Structure 1
Amino acid sequence: MKPAAYRLLRPLIVLAAIVILVENWLWERIGPLIGRIVALLPFAALKQAIHDGIERLPPYATLAVFAIPAALLFPFKLAALALLASGHLVLGGLVLVLAKVVGVGVTAFLFDTCKPKLMQIPLFVRLYATWNRWLAWAHGLVDPVKRRIRAHLRIIRGGRANRALKLLRRFRRVRQERALLLARKA
């Protein structure tokens, strides 16, 4: 890619990296949470039946089971978009976020059960490897920026920069007070 084109596309590339990292963050945080919630449910026989049913399925049928949460939550996402389009921004946003969180959580929970069967599908293995490469790429792109931001925040929160900012504010306040005194005398 030419340097000028890269500079133009860089914001979109960074946005794509951030989307990948947010998806992964949701997956890592919400999946185990949903797993713990499901573990608390008193439906041990039902959960075991679902697990056993998935174990008996061939790989491609397991892939269909893995897609069920997306299909079940699609109407909620459409309803959220309708709410957003009709001007109910907060409610539409909440429904969309809730559908996303539940979808990611349930999909992550199902993925743990389905993964051995899914890894028998060559295309899925390639897509999974591609996702992991994208994740590594996104971390390589965003992590240095996060480290620089954290370093700047540490400098601003404490240390010399904080004292310098306080001193600068004091100088400005003294200058404003002098200006007021001069204005009163005139």
Structure 2
Amino acid sequence: MEQVNEFLRRLKPRLTRALWFALALLFLIESWLWDHLRDGLRALERWLGVERLEAWLEGLVARLSPPMALVLFVGPIIAILPLKIAALALLAHGHILTGVAVILLAKMLALGVEAFLFDICRDKLLQMQWFARFYSIVLDVRAWASALVKPYKERLLEGLGRLRAYAASFLGGNSEILRKQIARLRALVKSRRAA
């Protein structure tokens, strides 16, 4: 029994570090998605030619009180709730891939719309002291998560650099040779299939 307790005592700090690292990584992934989905939504807005929607929303938010701007900001989270319930129903009925796909799609859509709306509502939302404090905490958590993950990210990038250098030396510094060899192999396979 003492051996088990000693093992658990030694394991606990490692598990704690792994948990915090996983949480930091999830937060950074969510943060990255926030930034990129917002940009994607803006690109979609330009592609559809509805840039005036953003100007209209900015005008609307300028007339709203800070609590009403919060209602507008939180709206998409509530709006996707039926999609998430439908996804859970799909999961319950054995449609695992479809259910997970619906959940991910709903999450990404809501995250993109939230990021888009936050840019528009930020000034109004930050007028509320509790929201300003919460926003400050989120920024602090983002900085903490970045600092926690940074050494691992640097090691990963160093490893990828070494792998690239190894591949370049293996190919003689010319990846064109490999591309031509693969093209020749594909042509050979196609000619044998045709025969």
- For Structure 1 versus Structure 2, the TM-score category normalised by the shorter chain is 0.7 to 0.9
Is structure 2 residue 66 aligned with structure 1 residue 72? Answer: no
Residue 26 of structure 2 is matched in structure 1 by 19
Structure 1, 131-140 or 81-90: larger mean CA deviation: 81-90
Cα distance between partner residues in 1 of 2:25 and 2:107: 16
Letter in 2 for 1:30: L
Residue 106 of structure 2 is matched in structure 1 by 99
Residue 177 of structure 1 is matched in structure 2 by none
Question: How far 1:40 sits from its partner (Å)?
Answer: 3.8
Question: Which of the numbers 45, 55, 78 marks the counterpart of 2:62?
Answer: 55
* Structure 2, unaligned runs of 5 or more: 1-8, 171-195
Structure 1, 45-54 or 30-39: larger mean CA deviation: 45-54
Residue 123 of structure 1 is matched in structure 2 by 130
Give the 3 Å change call, closer, same or farther, for CA 34–44 of structure 1 in structure 2.
Answer: closer
Structure 1, 14-23 or 82-91: larger mean CA deviation: 82-91
Task: Report % sequence identity.
Answer: 36
Give the 3 Å change call, closer, same or farther, for CA 139–57 of structure 1 in structure 2.
Answer: same
Deviations 1:121-154 (A, max 9, x none): 1111111111111111111111210111221232
Letter in 2 for 1:113: I
Residue 172 of structure 1 is matched in structure 2 by none
SS at match of 1:67: helix
Is structure 2 residue 119 aligned with structure 1 residue 112? Answer: yes
Residue 33 of structure 1 is matched in structure 2 by 40
* Structure 1, unaligned runs of 5 or more: 164-186
Question: How far 1:4 sits from its partner (Å)?
Answer: 6.3
Residue 176 of structure 1 is matched in structure 2 by none
Question: How far 1:101 sits from its partner (Å)?
Answer: 1.1
Cα distance between partner residues in 2 of 1:120 and 1:3: 47
Q: TM-score, normalised by structure 2?
A: 0.74
The residue correspondences of 1:140-159 to structure 2 (distance < 5 A) are 140-159=147-166
Residue 179 of structure 1 is matched in structure 2 by none
Residue 181 of structure 1 is matched in structure 2 by none
* Contact 2:76–2:113 (8 Å) recurs in 1: yes
Cα distance between partner residues in 1 of 2:47 and 2:156: 39
Aligned residues: 161
Question: How far 1:43 sits from its partner (Å)?
Answer: 4.7
* Contact 2:57–2:120 (8 Å) recurs in 1: no
SS at match of 1:159: helix
Letter in 1 for 2:42: G
Question: How far 1:45 sits from its partner (Å)?
Answer: 5.8
Q: TM-score, normalised by structure 1?
A: 0.77
Cα distance between partner residues in 1 of 2:145 and 2:131: 21
Computed over aligned residues only, the root mean square deviation of the Cα atoms, in angstroms, reads 2.3
Deviations 1:80-101 (A, max 9, x none): 1222232212111211111111
